[in-house]
Amino acid sequence: MPEEALIVVDMQRDFMPGGALPVPDGDKIIPRCNEYIEEFRKRGALIVATRDWHPPDHISFKERGGPWPAHCVQNTPGAEFVVELPADAVIISKATEPDKEAYSGFEGTDLEEILRKNGVKRVYICGVATEYCVKATALDAVKHGFETYLLSDAVKGITPEDEERALEEMKSAGVRIL
Ligand code: VGL
Ligand code: ZN
């Protein structure tokens, strides 16, 4: 049993510069994420990649009064991963229901069950955006009792102020910032 999992959060084309909802410099962490994927794979960790996977009429889109431009629509190029994942990586699709927002990779998915089934005790998290899906996923991981580490050189936020605040919030909740 692996005991450890790497959770790569939402490293998708639409969150990169040039995409529909870009995280500034989001592409700068791609190489670091790829290195972590390789390193964790070598040490036998379970590799998990979450993806934002919205139906075309998702409630979080501006057209429906939500905060965001349409992004990461299921089966479109914008929803594709920009990191290199091993063939046996576990893909977790989230925010797939038209009327429900879900920032956390645990929300409305099988992630917790999959981690438990694999004997995972510790999770390491990287990806985007620090103050949205990364934060929500890390806080939920703590809540579910996993020892939770944030790989801070492989996350990126939308604004530096919000990212800083998110890091503090995660730290207070018991996330260990590496
Ligand atoms: C995200 C905004 C909207 C994220 C997803 O992955 O952090 N942010 N949908
Ligand atoms: Zn989204």
Relative to the CA of 129, which ligand 1 atom is closest? 7
- Active-site residue 133, yes or no? yes
Of these residues, 27, 72, 133, 156, which one is catalytic? 133
Domain 4-177 is in which class? alpha beta
Task: Write out pLDDT tens, residues 54-90.
Answer: 999 999 999 999 999 999 999 999 999 999 999 999 9
Angle between helices 160-173 and 135-143 (to 10 degrees): 0
Rounded Cα distance between 117 and 121, Å, is: 11
Q: In this structure, what is the dihedral angle of CA atoms 138, 144, 146, 150, given to the nearest 10 degrees?
A: 0
Ligand 2 midpoint to CA 152 (Å): 21
For the chain, which residues make up each domain, given as ranges? 4-177
CB of 14 closer than 6 angstroms to any ligand 1 atom = no
Q: Which amino acid is at 148?
A: T
pLDDT for res 128 = 98
Contact predicate 134/169, CB 8 Å: no
pLDDT for res 2 = 81
pLDDT for res 1 = 72
Provide the whole-model pTM: 0.98
CB of 10 closer than 6 angstroms to any ligand 1 atom = yes
Low-confidence spans in the chain with pLDDT less than 70: none
Q: Is 96 helix (H, G, I), strand (E, B) or coil?
A: coil
Q: In this structure, what is the dihedral angle of CA atoms 141, 75, 132, 106, given to the nearest 10 degrees?
A: -20
